[in-house]
Amino acid sequence: MHSTARYFIKTAFFFFILGLLAGLYLYAAQVFGWLAPPTLVVAHTHVLLMGGMLMMILGVAVWFFPRPTKDDSKYKPRVILWLYWLFTASTLLRFMAEVISGFPGYQGLRMAGFIMSVLQVGATVGLVYSIWGRIRPVGSQLREKKGEAF
């Protein structure tokens, strides 16, 4: 497994833990009457799904799919690493903006959260575009032609 795939997977675990802690705090706020901004629900859900699930899927895809073909002009490891950093930063900043914007006087951060969302979507589209050519059959189509069922 190369380093970029490890970055994705380890960062996904970080975001899972962050999401779990946010969810635990949400529940504790209900049980003990602690202060919790209403936007924490969105932040919790978002960091679990985008930061945890999607980053894990992308990391496994970067690691698991076959090597790019020699004529694959879409696959650029440096671009994938750059998009990883963009995705990571925008996910963390979106989480922070969501949490803080739930407190009185900080609603202006919602625009920052939206901008981070746009950057996340852009990074996701760029990552999918970069690995698209690697999603191809490598030998299985030959076995299927021979009648093997999967």
Least confidently predicted of 54-58, 76-80, 86-90, 139-143: 139-143
Q: What pLDDT was estimated at residue 77? A: 86
pLDDT in tens, 20-42: 999 999 999 999 999 999 999 99
Q: What is the pTM of this model?
A: 0.87
Rounded to whole angstroms, how far apart are CA atoms 118 and 47?
15
pLDDT tier for residue 150 given thresholds of 50, 70 and 90: low
* 66 torsion bin: left (phi>0), alpha (psi -120 to 50), beta (else): beta
Q: Which residue has the tokens 């969501």?
A: 98
Q: Is the pLDDT of residue 61 over 80?
A: yes
pLDDT in tens, 99-118: 999 999 998 999 999 999 99
Name the residue with higher pLDDT: 142 or 13: 13
pLDDT in tens, 79-97: 999 999 999 999 999 999 9
> What DSSP string describes 15-56?
HHHHHHHHHHHHHHHHHH-----TTHHHHHHHIIIIIIIIHH
Up-side HSE of residue 7: CA atoms within 13 Å toward CB? Answer: 15
